């Protein structure tokens, strides 16, 4: 008799299944579709860590076809379809044997996945990789092969691969930095001129290119254990970084030393960076002028005074894009000033620098007591 109410409860739960919310998804079948309707319509990974679908931007009627962390309060986007602009409400993405097709509300195609084979089904994996598979479960397309501004554990950046920063915290178009794994075998971080999108010379290079392809850099690996390292053509680790730990350490050191490049492309930044590296200042015709320590201090103090007096327009001269986004520009400049404090204990860690630049933490008003310069 005791089993009777349990059986009834079981039957009741079965009857409710069609009305219960689905928290995870397995394979996405052909003909499945999602619409941009304001409910962050998505296909979820089995662990519920990642979602693929339409991400609404700032409570507006615009959306990104994207992948994001679905199980944290700040649902951070880690990939998005490379469309010219965010899509409008009513847009639709559909999975067919030809791949994913994104259409606007009028049915015009905005983006396609272009797989290298016939698609049988799709899957949002727990790694953050959305994949399309054929009948033999071979991947014919995967989001990991087309990264935007993020690389995730288990993801690989191959020769010719690229990451690019977003333009601003709310603008997901291509921004002012690109991380390339060149076909020659070097990992390079380049500032990008705006709006021409021309690349400046890299201010970081891994130095892993080699005329012997087996000894040259072959791919950047972000392992499951969160190690980041360069693998050579012969499968070994790059000797120039002596393994995984020193590569991460060297990258962090270089990035923190040249953090002034966060507003690269304008004349002030080029002058400051030149002074920091060589003690020389060049103009467009940081003609070469020699600067000593006193002149360096004067130049940096001038930049600090411009920041404190709200004259960011002077710092970036005619860089209209930077002037129009004063909140981001102010955050970047104040972060740069913190990074050249003479007292190392006052300088933020690389992790904190990243959070400052992305706007995840508040940047305190910097002090002007003293600054540090490097001639290396």
Residue 174's domain is classified under what CATH number? 2.90.10
pLDDT of residue 234: 92
Verify that 271 and 352 share a domain, yes or no. yes
Which of 172, 180, 179, 174 shows the shortest CA–CA distance to 195?
Answer: 174
Largest pairwise CA distance in the chain: 96
- Rg of the chain on CA atoms, in Å: 25
pLDDT of residue 317: 65
Does residue 5 belong to any structural domain of this protein?
no
pLDDT of residue 165: 84
Q: Are 231 and 238 in contact (CB under 8 A)?
A: yes
Residue 125's domain is classified under what CATH number? 2.90.10.10
pLDDT tens for the chain, 376 residues: list them: 444 443 443 333 333 333 333 334 479 999 999 999 866 579 999 999 999 999 998 878 899 999 999 988 878 899 999 887 899 999 999 999 999 999 999 999 999 999 999 999 999 999 999 999 999 999 999 999 999 988 899 999 999 999 988 877 778 888 888 888 999 999 998 888 777 778 888 878 889 999 999 999 999 998 887 788 899 999 998 865 443 433 444 444 433 433 333 333 334 444 444 444 444 434 433 633 445 555 555 677 777 888 888 888 777 766 666 677 788 888 888 888 888 787 778 888 877 887 887 778 888 888 765 565 544 4
Verify that 297 and 246 share a domain, yes or no. no
Verify that 185 and 111 share a domain, yes or no. no
Verify that 56 and 171 share a domain, yes or no. no
Signed CA dihedral, 267, 268, 271, 274: sign only: negative
Does residue 76 belong to any structural domain of this protein?
yes
- Residue 350: domain span: 259-358
pLDDT of residue 35: 94
String of DSSP letters for 22-63: P----EEETT-EEE-SSS--EEE-TTSSEEEEEEE-TTSSEE
Verify that 243 and 287 share a domain, yes or no. no
Does residue 290 belong to any structural domain of this protein?
yes
How far apart, in Å, do the first and last CA atoms of the chain sit? 84
Q: Are 100 and 122 in contact (CB under 8 A)?
A: yes
Verify that 54 and 133 share a domain, yes or no. yes
The encoded tokens of residue 56 equal: 């609404």
Does residue 151 belong to any structural domain of this protein?
no
Q: How far apart are CA 132 and CA 364, in angstroms?
A: 45
Given 212, 227, 251, the domain boundary residue is 251
Verify that 139 and 204 share a domain, yes or no. no
Verify that 171 and 115 share a domain, yes or no. no
pLDDT of residue 101: 97
Does residue 42 belong to any structural domain of this protein?
yes
The encoded tokens of residue 260 equal: 């002034």
Range 68-88 burial, b when 16+ CB lie within 10 A, else e: bbbeeeeeebbbbbebeebbe
Q: How far apart are CA 266 and CA 213, in angstroms?
A: 37
Between the CA of residue 273 and those of 257, 258, 270, 276, 363, what are the distances in Å?
10, 7, 5, 5, 22
What contacts 246, CB < 8 A, 6 or more positions away?
A: none
Number of domains observed in the structure of the chain: 3
Given 251, 273, 306, the domain boundary residue is 251
Does residue 366 belong to any structural domain of this protein?
no
Verify that 238 and 281 share a domain, yes or no. no
Verify that 235 and 177 share a domain, yes or no. yes
Verify that 198 and 133 share a domain, yes or no. no
What contacts 186, CB < 8 A, 6 or more positions away?
A: 205, 206, 207, 208, 209, 217
Does residue 120 belong to any structural domain of this protein?
yes
pLDDT of residue 336: 82
Beta bridge partners of 199: 192
Given 251, 270, 297, the domain boundary residue is 251
Verify that 36 and 132 share a domain, yes or no. yes
Does residue 100 belong to any structural domain of this protein?
yes
């Amino acid at each position: 008799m005791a089993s009777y109410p349990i059986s009834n409860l079981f039957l009741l739960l079965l009857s409710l299944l069609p009305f219960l919310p689905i928290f995870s998804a397995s394979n996405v079948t052909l003909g499945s579709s999602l619409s941009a309707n304001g409910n962050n319509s998505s296909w979820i990974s089995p662990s519920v860590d990642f979602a693929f679908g339409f991400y609404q931007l700032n409570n507006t009627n615009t959306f990104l076809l994207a992948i994001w962390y679905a199980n944290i309060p700040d649902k951070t986007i880690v990939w998005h379809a490379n469309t010219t602009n965010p899509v409008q409400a009513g847009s639709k993405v559909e999975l067919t044997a030809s791949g994913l097709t994104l259409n606007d509300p009028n049915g015009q195609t905005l983006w396609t996945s272009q797989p290298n084979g016939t698609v049988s089904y799709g899957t949002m994996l727990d790694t953050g990789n959305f994949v399309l598979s054929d009948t033999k479960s071979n991947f014919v397309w995967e989001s990991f092969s087309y990264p935007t501004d993020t690389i995730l554990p288990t993801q690989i950046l191959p020769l010719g691969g690229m990451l690019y920063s977003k333009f601003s915290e709310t603008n997901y178009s291509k921004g002012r930095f690109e991380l390339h794994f060149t076909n020659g075998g070097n990992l390079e971080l380049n500032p990008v001129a705006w709006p021409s999108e021309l690349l400046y010379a890299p201010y970081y290079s891994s130095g892993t290119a080699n005329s012997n392809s087996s000894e040259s850099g072959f791919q950047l690996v972000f392992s499951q254990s969160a190690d980041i390292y360069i693998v050579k053509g012969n499968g070994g680790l790059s000797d120039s970084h002596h393994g995984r730990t020193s590569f991460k350490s060297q990258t962090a050191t270089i990035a923190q030393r040249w953090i002034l490049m966060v507003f690269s492309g304008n004349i002030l930044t080029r002058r400051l960076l030149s002074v920091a590296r060589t003690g020389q200042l060049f103009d467009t015709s940081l003609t070469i002028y020699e600067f000593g320590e006193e002149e360096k201090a004067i130049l940096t103090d001038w930049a600090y005074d411009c920041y404190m007096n709200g004259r960011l327009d002077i710092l970036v001269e005619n860089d209209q894009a930077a002037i129009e986004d004063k909140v981001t520009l102010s955050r970047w400049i104040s972060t740069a000033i913190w990074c050249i404090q003479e007292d190392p204990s006052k300088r933020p860690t690389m992790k904190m620098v990243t959070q400052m630049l992305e706007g995840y933490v508040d940047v305190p008003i910097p002090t002007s007591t003293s600054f540090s310069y490097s001639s290396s």
